A and B are shown apart, each in its own frame.
Chain A
Amino acid sequence: MTALKLENVNKSFGEVHVLKDINLTVEEGEFVVFVGPSGCGKSTLLRVIAGLEDATSGTVTIGGEVVNAVPPARRGIAMVFQSYALYPHLTVKDNMGLGLKQEGQPKSVIEERVARASKMLDLDSYLARRPAELSGGQRQRVAIGRAIVRDPKLFLFDEPLSNLDAALRMNTRVEIAALHRTLSASMIYVTHDQIEAMTLADKIVVLRDGRIEQVGSPMELYNHPANRFVAGFLGSPSMNFLERSVEGLPKGQTLGIRPEHLTLDGKGQIGGEVTHVERLGGDTNLLVRTEQGETLTVRLFGQNTTPVGEKVRLRFDESHAFHFDADNKRL
């Protein structure tokens, strides 16, 4: 069964057309990540799914039921907000239980579900605290717990990690992935961070300017980007785009090469000068200015002693190169 189906969803705020003809299917148990630069409409799309915004046109179907006119609480969704949006005046336990209490669930059911969620998220020792007495990571877990207790058909995450520091972000990412495996629930996750998208998703939806650019598994998108935008958005450091530095390239075409597919080779196709070196220990990134004045990044594995100012030649394998036409479509 499909967990979510969007058909020709449009959303406008007055004159501004934010979502344009969104069509998308999320299968049961799938982890789908919406990714795109800020302002691309990914959060709006999530809010339309949640019911916090109404679609201007099109249908939203959750678990086989058209929910366009159904309020958020009865859509079978649970949402985790970027700011966590915990109720400041309630304890952790009451934060998680309030939704069930509002539904009129008996006390024993609330107790049991809260206990299960808090066990899953390691929150047992914090149940009596208020949000102000918790760290950012703990608040995050409470927000997730509040979603879990509702036992939703579909989890919605709105940039849940963006308020955490880098170390915690990595941990929480792993926890969310583990949670997805344990619950085997359908999840939609919005982020602007392509690393989160790559590491978490079964299916990535790349959005730009309110349109879906491409949908596919992380490796499909990485290896077969449909256009220059997707190619440049996924992967870090991002793909190099060259127009002039490679001989024999037809006019108007762009050549895309990922930084890890470039090697230093005296007989390489591209010549240039190293303008900056980033040594990360495991990798070394070289910024090279080609003879034709384009800048590209080279990712070398391991440590490398190439100094700034060195003249180098770079080699790439044609099988790893992507060609884009003048409209940025992949050829």
Chain B
Amino acid sequence: MAISSNHKFRWHIAVFLAPAVLVYTAVMIYPLFNTLRLSLFSEVDQQRVWVGLQNFRTLFGDALWSDQFWNALGNNTWFFIIHMLVQNPIGVALAAILSSPRLRFSAFYRSAIFIPTILSFVIVGFAWKLILSPIWGIAPGMLDAIGLKFLFQPWLGKAEYALTTLSLVSVWQYVGIPMMLIYAALLSIPDEILEAGECDGITGMAAFWKIKLPLILPSIGIISILTFVANFNAFDLIYAAQGALAGPDFSTDILGTFMYRTFFGFQLQLGDPHMGSAIASAMFGIILIGVCLYLFGIQRRLRNYQF
């Protein structure tokens, strides 16, 4: 500080930072704090009144609310687990296959796999709803064509399958992102290290497990946390495919749809911005805790390798 006080205040720094700070504050920081603030109020006789933590007491204490909340959190956790167990391993496997120099048309595959990621969730949700429809969908016909029609179920319509089905649709849509990140990480491993492995007899699958995988662990860590944040903020696909009631019987209800219904209201339910803000604050807390656990618990143990 003593050193900088000798200098003239450098206005240009503030000037150049201002646009980013203003935009970020307007669209991120202000709404975040305002949401946290709103959750501490309630509306009584069309007057906004301070209620402290009462909204949270209702959310966690009143069975009418807490059952819904725990249902949404449980569903959301399952949604996340499916992504971690299916999306990320498949992403890693695709990247490993794509990075093989012997694969032809790899640029084509890379683009084809990545394209769903840039599609709108509305298109994806609607398209899969049509594909899987028992009445006019193509899934029953296609299964019939290979003699597996007995496997067909109205997956989106049964409470025990709907959430898993939607999770897999989301996996299909977003698998390109871990694939691309891992692909970049794999390309950054120097050839000489892999050749040294070749001289040591470590080729093929052994090269993947013993050399490449340990070296891309930091990237896998980053992907995991990105997946966590994206999944616990998810809303769009469920809304597009199942509507805000996240049917059947709330079996696909996740925190995002629960929050949406509460905040804006849906059908017979009246919107309650204050309870909605309380749910949004709880989501913020959950994500914050998850990210902190990752940053302090896991990322510190991952080594970043400089080649």
> Footprint of B on A, CB under 8 Å?
50-52, 71-74, 77-79, 81-83, 85-89, 98-99, 102-103, 130, 132, 146, 150
Contacts and interface: CB of A to CB of B under 8 A. Distances in A.
Contact of B192 (A51, A85, A102): A85
A87 B199 contact: no
B305 A102 contact: no
A130 to B, nearest CB: 8
Given A71-B203, A98-B210, A132-B305, A85 B198 contact: no
A79 B197 CA distance: 10
Contacts of A130: 303
Contacts of B190: 83, 85
Given A85-B192, A85-B193, A102-B206, A77 B199 contact: yes
B306 interface: yes
Nearest to B189: A88
Contact of B200 (A52, A89, A98): A98
Q: Which 10 A-B pairs have the closest CB atoms?
A: A73-B201, A99-B200, A85-B192, A85-B196, A88-B305, A89-B214, A102-B201, A72-B199, A81-B192, A85-B193
Given A89-B214, A89-B305, A132-B305, A71 B193 contact: no
Given A71-B203, A98-B210, A88 B307 contact: yes
Given A99-B199, A102-B210, 8 more contacts: A51-B198, A71-B201, A73-B199, A88-B306, A98-B202, A102-B200, A102-B201, A132-B303
A103 B199 contact: no
Given A85-B195, A89-B303, A102 B215 contact: no
B195 A81 contact: yes
Interface string B269-307: 000000000000000000000000000000000010111
B211 interface: yes
Contacts of A82: 192
B192 A72 contact: no
Contacts of A89: 214-215, 303, 305
Contacts of B306: 88, 132
A130 B305 CA distance: 10
A87 B201 contact: no
14 contacts: A72-B199, A72-B201, A73-B203, A79-B196, A86-B193, A87-B197, A88-B193, A89-B214, A98-B197, A98-B200, A99-B199, A99-B202, A102-B210, A132-B303
Contacts of A77: 199
A82 B193 CA distance: 11
Nearest to A47: B195
Contacts of B196: 79, 81, 85-87, 146
Nearest to B211: A87
Nearest to A99: B200
Nearest to A78: B199
Contacts of A83: 190, 192
Interface of B: 190, 192-193, 195-203, 206, 210-211, 214-215, 303, 305-307
B199 A102 contact: no
A74 B215 contact: no
B215 A99 contact: no
A79 B195 CA distance: 9
Contacts of B193: 85-88
Contacts of B203: 71, 73
Contacts of B199: 50, 52, 72-73, 77-79, 99
A81 B199 CA distance: 11
A85 B197 CA distance: 9
A89 B190 CA distance: 14
A98 B214 CA distance: 14
Nearest to A77: B199
Nearest to B214: A89
Contacts of B202: 73, 98-99, 102
Contacts of A85: 190, 192-193, 195-196
Contacts of B214: 89
Nearest to A83: B192
A62 to B, nearest CB: 13
Contacts of B210: 98, 102
A316 B206 CA distance: 63
A88 B307 CA distance: 8
Contacts of A146: 196, 200
B192 A99 contact: no
A98 B199 CA distance: 11
B137 to A, nearest CB: 47
Nearest to A50: B199
B212 to A, nearest CB: 10
A150 B29 CA distance: 59
A89 to B, nearest CB: 4
B215 A88 contact: yes
Contacts of B198: 51-52, 71-73
Interface centre among B190, B192, B199, B211 (most CB of A within 10 A): B199
A233 B93 CA distance: 50
A85 B194 CA distance: 8
Nearest to B192: A85
Contacts of A88: 193, 215, 303, 305-307
Nearest to B303: A89
A114 to B, nearest CB: 13
A160 B70 CA distance: 61
